[in-house]
Amino acid sequence: MTAIAASLQPKDHYNTVNHIALIDYGMGNLHSVAKALEKAGGTVSLVRDADKLKEYNSIVLPGVGAFRDCMHTLKESGLDQAIIEESGKGKPFLGICLGMQALMSTSLEHGLHKGLGLVAGSVKPFPDTLPAMGYKIPHMGWNDVAFAADQAIHPVLTPLQGQQVYFVHSYYCAPDNSQHTLAATSFGGFPFACAIGHDNIVAVQFHPEKSQKHGLAMLQSFIQWKL
């Protein structure tokens, strides 16, 4: 175990009910997310044990990579059911990148695969027309965050109004309920949900830990979010 990983393990003198569970299932740049959360004012522990998740009142699911591998790993460890159960208790929950996609009902990445089903909808590939128009996939780099004029901005996302954030992804989330799309981004003229959620769940397709001060401000808003 590295020194950084060891420093993020639960300590006996910590009251784990008061700090953030960063789910560690072997996929994602956990150290960058953990350090960003800490810089934003959070106290963070990596959690690999499904039974331990109930000890925390705030949960973050990060991730990069393939949807199929993500779900396989979560199911193997029992973290899939733990996430469903603990988020169902109303705990503040943040999904990041692949952690956002895992919340959906299904994904079409490398076949049809079942997700956690916490947000009804599907993960889909970008249209084939985009590469033909000169837009490279994955969608990578800085892009705008847009909010609907007729919908109040989610309290976790308010620091992103009028800002750009950093993306790296080849698939996008398509919620069944348009009210579950909290913010959108356009790639080559194709709009997609860059933030989704409802109730105690919020998730973002971009990487707040790579989005400089505005990403950190968003993480701080999540840490301070009062339901």
Give all domains of the chain, ordered by start, each with its CATH number.
3-224 (3.40.50.880)
Which residues are catalytic, by number? 97, 207, 209
Please tell me the distance from the alpha carbon of residue 69 to that of residue 85, in angstroms, as a whole number.
21
**Residue matched to tokens 């919908």:** 151
Do 199 and 90 form a contact (C-beta atoms < 8 A)?
A: yes
Question: Tell me, what's the pLDDT at 2?
Answer: 37
pTM above 0.85, yes or no: yes
Within 10 angstroms of residue 8's Cβ, the number of other Cβ atoms is: 21
Phi, psi of 145, rounded to the nearest 5 degrees: -110, 125
pLDDT in tens, 15-40: 455 589 999 998 877 999 999 999 99
What are the b/e assignments for 180-198, b being 16+ CB within 10 Å? bbbbebebbeeebbbbbbe
pLDDT at position 5 over 50: no
Tracing tokens 């109930």 back to the chain, one arrives at 54
